[in-house]
Structure 1
Amino acid sequence: MLARGCCRRTVVEVREDLHREIRKLALLNDLRIYVLANAIIEDYLRDEQRVKALIKRLRVEAGSTIC
């Protein structure tokens, strides 16, 4: 399980459509954007196989864009 309570402020570039969706969900559920974003990230990181598959997919996509 990931450590809670110890926070580090980090700036991350997020696509506009993703920001809009997270913001909408946070507002509809009376949550702060950072609370929802942290929960989404934490939940995703719990599934090691899903993370490995994502990294593999991103490497393939990055490799196909390099000329």
Structure 2
Amino acid sequence: MDRSRRTVVEVRADLHQRIKQLALLNDLRIYELANAVIEEALADKEKVKALIKRLKLDTWRQHT
């Protein structure tokens, strides 16, 4: 595995519960699952860009 940069991401309680219902996963396994989901989502760049725009997360560009 490549060196990784650690960023803490808080999983909402409702999403955590839904993951637990799908499989009995401990928090480390949920972390691995979250990374896999993010990696898969990033494969569709246009979808990610649209989501960023919809959520208005691109604050860096808004301030330049």
TM-score by length of 2: 0.64
- Equivalent in 14, 19, 26 of residue 17 of structure 1: 14
**Structure 1, gaps ≥5 residues long:** 60-67
- Residue of structure 2 equivalent to 1:8: 5
Shift of 1:35: 1.4
Aligned pair count? 54
- Equivalent in 51, 58, 63 of residue 55 of structure 2: 58
1:32 maps onto 2:17 in alignment: no
TM-score by length of 1: 0.62
**Structure 2, gaps ≥5 residues long:** 57-64
Which protein, 1 or 2, shows the higher relative CO under an 8 Å CA cutoff with sep ≥ 6? Answer: 1
| Amino acid in the other structure paired with 1:57 | R
Among all aligned residue pairs of Structure 1 and Structure 2, give the percentage whose two residues are the same amino acid. 67
